[in-house]
Amino acid sequence: MGQRIDINHLNVYYGDFLAVQDINMKIQANKVTAFIGPSGCGKSTVLRTLDRMHEITPGAHVEGQVLLEGRDLYGPDVDPVEVRRDVGMVFQRANPFPTMSIRENVLAGIRLNKKHIPKSDADDLVEWALRGANLWKEVKDRLDKPGIGLSGGQQQRLCIARAVAVHPQVLLMDEPCSALDPISTLAVEDLINELKQDYTIVIVTHNMQQAARVSDYTAFFNLKAVGQPGHLVEMNDTTTIFSNPQEEDTERYISGRFG
Amino acid sequence: MMGRADETWPGSNKDGETPMKDMRSRASLSPVSSAGGSASSTSVSPDSVSPGPVPAGPETPGSESPATAADGGGAGKGADGGPLPVIDFGKFKPTRSSLRARKRKNLIMTALIVLSFLVALIPLVSVLWVSLVNGVERLNLDFLTHNMSGVVGGNPTATGGYGGILHAIIGTLEVTLGAMVISIPIGVMCAVYLVEYSHGGRLARAISLLVDVMSGIPSIVAGLFAFSMFATLVGPGTVNGFSGSVALSLLMIPTVVKTSEDMLAVVPNDLREAAYALGVTQQRTITRIVLRTALPGIVSGTILAIARVIGETAPLLIASGFIATTNPNLFSGRMTTLPVYVYNEYSEGLAVCGPGAASGCLTDIRMQRAWAAALVLILIVLLLNLLGRLISRIFSVQEAK
């Protein structure tokens, strides 16, 4: 089951630079939440704070709280590595491990953590994850072939399978379809709709039609000017955001009259 | 599209009198004018365009150069309302003579490149050929399976041979293996620190500088260092194979660090992030993903480093010495290596075949042995290279299905 995320007064820094200022939002469990906004407004940055990937960048840090089902992810005794096992992530560019086969890619999250699993369990897990990612039928006869031999859309679904194989509660997706053709995009969007039964999904997208199609809630981020920190303008039901936004900025952005 | 381009490119009015000419000049400018049109379509309306000045220079209908068609004209307005500079794109187009000049230059450069390739090939082929011709005479099983004990002058030994290089082959392999065991872990771990942990800090810059300095150390200095280190630690005059390994590892480490660093740096960050996002620790990400992906490159770089040091003579002469018998113990006693053997044979000069010499006595036997040993050294390096390529291929990242 998915878990709820509450963000309280979150400031995100790269070194001394305040990239995102004072974010407050509630991300509902088992729903799809879309982050939209212009480039550089910090939506990917906020997404990366939700699994503490943000702090991989040297000098990056945050202030404020991110609560996963009430547990503060930035608490003093929280191990970022453990956080990332609960909160999975899919990236803009499909990044299967080039040295691994399809099967090894799916099992990577388990194997790399040194957990030994018997072969029959591994087989079941591979099938379960690949079925969950709608990829099983296409690759079941070539599980031992390299993962990077697949097409772009298949690679992205392989990455989703790899992410769900460690059984997270939340799945973060950073523009998962921006490098995919429309057919592969449709496949991934269908998958997102199925996945939300088991996971809380947060997706960053530049494609507003996609946000309207897949998400239940939409958050619009903006920044006042280049060099200024990004901020959350408005968050609401997707239908409300797209039909009756409360803020003028939101309306201008979604109707394409931005800037 | 043409009409719209005309409207939004006020400069086009300059030769609006002759439609044919206009079309031709537009054709040469169309990518620019259409781009300008779409960019300025909101700010410049057709009404705001005033007729520009008619160009003074008459144009010949048969003119081939687009430059004459496009020059002159009034200044238009850019998307932000400011004056748009008039640009004569015809001027930037290559002329016939410049194309000819480029072809000529291409021919000359191609010839130069081929020539320099051939010049570079001459010493390589000649070294291989001379070593093969001179070395193959003495290169036989007896030569490979015996050492130099019991060899007197140019006389044949009891087995019918003239001594051999078994002890030098064993010495070279053991000393080089020792150098690998020392330098590969240190070099790779140093590179891992530089790429994965240091984030370009002060210590990293200091290490990089020291590695660069180290790669310029003369090999004789490395030999003296190893010799004096063992003299201090073990006792004066300590000469053994391992001391040679230490000397060689000093020469190897910079190469291993540099190539490993380069190979780790080209591992895409995507893969590190993918592993971190699966809840994998940094240590296991480095060992299982980053090093694994960079492995083929690291192997190639290491082989290069080995090829560089395996032929070193001076440091081994000092640190490991020379002996006629086989010494399999790396840590005790003098140990002959192939380059030192070659040097020693060569420096001894001609053998004396006096009146009491055996019937098969050869005066130039030492030269023959030196060439044959040199050939064996070349073959060992070649084999190491092939082995490295094989390992690289086995662990390489498969691109296609």
Query: Using one digit for the tens of pLDDT, what is the confidence trace for A107-135?
Result: 999 888 877 888 999 999 999 999 888 88
Are A84 and B277 within 8 A, CB to CB? Answer: yes
CB distance B227 to B319 below 8 Å: yes
**Chain A residues closer than 8 Å to B397 by CB:** 98-99, 146, 148
* Residue at B102 is within a domain: no
* Residue at B31 is within a domain: yes
What tokens appear for B320 in the block?
A: 């490991």
Are A91 and B281 within 8 A, CB to CB? Answer: no
Nearest CB to B278 within list A93, A108, A148: A108
- How far away is chain A from the Cα of B387, in angstroms, using its nearest Cα? 20
Reading chain B (401 residues) residue by residue, the pLDDT tens digits are 344 444 444 444 444 444 444 444 444 444 444 444 444 334 444 444 444 444 444 444 444 444 444 444 445 666 677 788 888 888 888 888 888 999 999 999 999 999 999 999 999 999 999 999 999 988 889 899 988 888 888 888 888 788 889 999 999 999 999 999 999 999 999 999 999 998 888 999 999 999 999 999 999 999 999 999 999 999 888 899 999 999 999 999 999 999 999 999 999 999 999 999 999 999 999 999 999 999 999 999 999 899 889 999 999 999 999 999 999 999 989 999 999 999 999 998 888 887 777 777 888 889 999 999 999 999 999 999 999 899 888 888 765 43
Residues 182-201 of B with CB under 8 A from A: 199
On the question of pLDDT at A228 being above 70, the answer is yes
Q: Is B274 on the interface with A (CB under 8 A)?
A: yes
How many residues in chain A? 259
pLDDT at A258 (0 to 100): 59
Mean pLDDT, chain A, as a whole number?
A: 90
The count of other CB atoms within 10 Å of the CB of residue B154 is 21
Same domain, B153 and B87: no
Q: At what angle do helices B291-310 and B365-394 cross, to 10 degrees?
A: 170
pLDDT at B7 (0 to 100): 42
CB distance A221 to A7 below 8 Å: no
CB distance A138 to A161 below 8 Å: no
Q: For chain B, how many structural domains are there in total?
A: 2
CA-nearest residue to A100 within chain B is B397
Are A112 and B398 within 8 A, CB to CB? Answer: no
**Chain B residues closer than 8 Å to A138 by CB:** none
Structure confidence at residue A224 as a pLDDT band (50, 70, 90): confident
* Residue at B157 is within a domain: yes
Same domain, B212 and B285: yes
Same domain, B69 and B146: no
Same domain, B165 and B301: yes
- How far away is chain A from the Cα of B44, in angstroms, using its nearest Cα? 19
* Residue at B107 is within a domain: no
pLDDT at A254 (0 to 100): 84
User: Domain holding B177: CATH number?
Assistant: 1.10.3720.10
Q: Choose the final residue of a domain: B92, B120, B146.
A: B92
Nearest CB to B288 within list A81, A82, A112: A112
Same domain, B208 and B317: yes
* Residue at B106 is within a domain: no
CA-nearest residue to A115 within chain B is B280
Interface test with A, best of B278, B292, B392 (most A CBs within 10 A): B278
* Residue at B77 is within a domain: yes
**CA–CA separation, B241 and B323 (whole Å):** 11
**CA–CA separation, B256 and B318 (whole Å):** 24
Same domain, B277 and B385: yes
The DSSP symbol for B64 reads: -
pLDDT at B159 (0 to 100): 81
pLDDT at A249 (0 to 100): 87
* Residue at B109 is within a domain: no
Same domain, B68 and B173: no
Domain limits for position B49: 2-92
Q: Choose the final residue of a domain: B28, B63, B92.
A: B92
What superfamily does domain A5-254 belong to in CATH? P-loop containing nucleotide triphosphate hydrolases (3.40.50.300)
Percent helix, percent strand, percent coil in chain B, to nearest 5? 65, 0, 35
Q: Choose the final residue of a domain: B64, B92, B120.
A: B92
SS3 state at A141: coil
pLDDT at A225 (0 to 100): 82
Same domain, B187 and B81: no
pLDDT at B77 (0 to 100): 64
- How far away is chain B from the Cα of A51, in angstroms, using its nearest Cα? 8
Residues 293-312 of B with CB under 8 A from A: 293
Interface test with B, best of A51, A68, A81, A138 (most B CBs within 10 A): A81
* Residue at B119 is within a domain: no
**Chain B residues closer than 8 Å to A88 by CB:** 277-278
**Chain B residues closer than 8 Å to A96 by CB:** 274
Cβ neighbors of B185 (< 8 A, separation 6 or more) are none
- How far away is chain B from the Cα of A239, in angstroms, using its nearest Cα? 31
